[in-house]
């Protein structure tokens, strides 16, 4: 974070200073919500979560070098001595206000002579946010100092923590913006109004929190409503619900996708034997070859979104094409391909799942396995689908059969309808296995897998199959 005095920080958050703190004390270190990440000069944000209360770790944060704690109450150390704190009504809301204040200061500084010319890019969509964010961060990093979220920091805590990593040198601030209900993106864009807003797709993720697909579309459109004055909307021309968001854009609209009317397109898309796409990127009357390192044809869509956003913030076409070809998958458990010494290929895509991403992953599995290797799909529950959950899981089971998946392993009670769908589609006997939990799945696969198998592991994060992904790939280098 940029250096702020304790008094400035209290003013930005609407809080009051308590304990042994001089208002002129400078907070010059990082802003963190995990006491284990404290560095000297840090601000520690004490957040009361579902499983732990950050207030209980404030003393250890101060002992590790935090000069100030953002807290909901006055704090004392182990011996009863007060701790330096800014006391606010709601630390999460205050964290957002602090990020909004700091970003405002950075924007003002960036337009001064010699300033960085800061551009803020927001990315949302039901599928592909994190991968697109990772691609875009790598494109921008090649052109100037860039800050982007670690992992999937895309909510009311993760986004302001990401914003607060920016400083006066930052040229690009790439933000992933997630929403599990109406108003969430409005809140996030109030903290960080994007100069460029990217909308990937309106799909079935988190339907339970919205009440229907049209409500999802309205919520995703909030990132367009929240654009900075004159901001650019980067929209998927292939999704009719995303198309409709163009009328809400305050400035230019850049279209990406497969339709001939798209401003940014991929032509001559091909997959190599490892499932990695190559294509010709076309935009602005020019073209350039791209060969992705990511596995799965669905990543072409993510690459086009990243390309369109990169072009919108001033990168040229050759820079974008080269950057896409050099970009790697940065976030764990997202189409992470591992070749094990025993000849088994593991595709760990267990970070999250919804019907759209599940279909894409199964298609990628079919390509990787081809005709000469056994395809194994290990699937868990897709959560937050509301009333659509049963049918959605059933359809995934049917798709696995149509794609000729040789062995389907269904993990957990919440995913049982996947097995039902597969059996109704004509799969039976040893082609479908149903296991109770991750431990049972691990034991089954350890006994069942053989050289040449290609194994996909996928579920929503809460279903826990990421632990199975770790088990199957432990100690093995990425392919």
Annotated binding site for ATP: 125-131
What gap in Å lies between CA 229 and CA 226, rounded to an integer? 9
What gap in Å lies between CA 24 and CA 432, rounded to an integer? 66
Q: Give strand pairing partners of 18.
A: 85
Letter string b/e over residues 425-464, b meaning 16 or more CB atoms within 10 A of that residue's CB: bebeeeebbbbeebeebbebbeeebeeebbbbbbbbeebb
State the DSSP code for 53: B
What gap in Å lies between CA 344 and CA 366, rounded to an integer? 15
What gap in Å lies between CA 342 and CA 114, rounded to an integer? 56
What does the DSSP assignment read for 12-34?
Answer: HHT-EEESS--TT-EE-S-EESS
What gap in Å lies between CA 264 and CA 258, rounded to an integer? 8
Closest CA to 431 of 447, 419, 445: 419
What gap in Å lies between CA 395 and CA 424, rounded to an integer? 10
Known binding site: residues? Answer: 125-131
Strand order from edge to edge, sheet including 85-87? 16-18, 85-87, 68-71, 43-45, 31-32
């Amino acid at each position: 974070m940029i250096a702020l005095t304790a008094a400035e920080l209290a003013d930005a958050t609407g809080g009051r200073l308590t304990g042994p703190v001089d208002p002129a004390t400078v907070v010059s270190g990082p802003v963190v919500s995990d006491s284990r990440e404290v560095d000297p000069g840090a601000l520690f944000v004490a957040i009361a979560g579902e499983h732990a209360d950050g207030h209980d770790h404030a003393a250890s944060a101060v002992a590790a070098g935090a000069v100030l704690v953002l807290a909901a109450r006055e704090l004392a150390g182990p011996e009863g001595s007060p701790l330096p704190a800014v006391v606010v009504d709601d630390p999460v809301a205050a964290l957002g206000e602090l990020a909004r204040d700091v970003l405002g200061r950075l924007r003002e500084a960036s337009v001064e002579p010699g300033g960085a010319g800061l551009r803020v890019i927001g990315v949302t969509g039901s599928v592909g946010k994190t991968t697109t964010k990772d691609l875009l961060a790598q494109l921008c990093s090649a052109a100037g100092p860039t800050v982007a979220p670690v992992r999937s920091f895309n909510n009311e805590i993760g986004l302001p923590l990401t914003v607060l990593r920016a400083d006066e040198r930052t040229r690009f601030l790439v933000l992933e913006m997630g929403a599990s209900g109406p108003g969430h993106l409005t809140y996030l864009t109030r903290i960080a109004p994007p100069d460029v807003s990217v909308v990937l797709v309106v799909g079935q993720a988190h339907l339970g929190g919205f009440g229907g697909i049209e409500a999802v579309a309205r919520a995703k459109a909030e990132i367009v409503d929240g654009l900075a004055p004159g901001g650019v909307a980067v929209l998927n021309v292939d999704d009719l619900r995303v198309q409709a968001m163009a009328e809400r854009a305050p400035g230019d609209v850049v279209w990406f996708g497969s339709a001939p009317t798209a401003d940014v397109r991929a032509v001559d898309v091909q997959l190599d034997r490892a499932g990695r796409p190559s294509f010709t990127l076309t935009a602005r009357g020019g073209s350039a070859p791209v060969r992705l390192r990511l596995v799965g044809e669905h990543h072409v869509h993510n690459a086009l979104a990243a390309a369109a956003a990169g072009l919108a913030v001033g990168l040229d076409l050759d820079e974008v094409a080269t950057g896409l070809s050099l970009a790697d998958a940065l976030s764990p458990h997202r189409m992470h391909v591992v070749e094990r010494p025993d000849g088994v290929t593991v595709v760990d895509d267990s970070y999250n799942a919804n019907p759209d991403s599940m279909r894409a992953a199964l298609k990628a599995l079919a390509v990787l396995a081809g005709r000469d290797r056994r395809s194994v799909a290990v699937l868990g529950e897709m959560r937050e689908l509301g009333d659509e959950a049963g049918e959605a899981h059933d359809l995934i089971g049917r798709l696995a059969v149509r794609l000729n998946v040789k062995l389907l392993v269904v993990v957990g009670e919440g995913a049982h309808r996947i097995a039902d769908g597969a059996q109704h589609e004509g799969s039976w006997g040893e082609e479908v296995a149903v296991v109770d939990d991750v431990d049972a799945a691990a034991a089954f696969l350890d006994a069942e897998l053989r050289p040449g198998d290609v194994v996909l592991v996928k579920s929503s994060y809460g279903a826990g199959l990421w632990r199975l992904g770790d088990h199957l790939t432990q100690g093995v280098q990425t392919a």
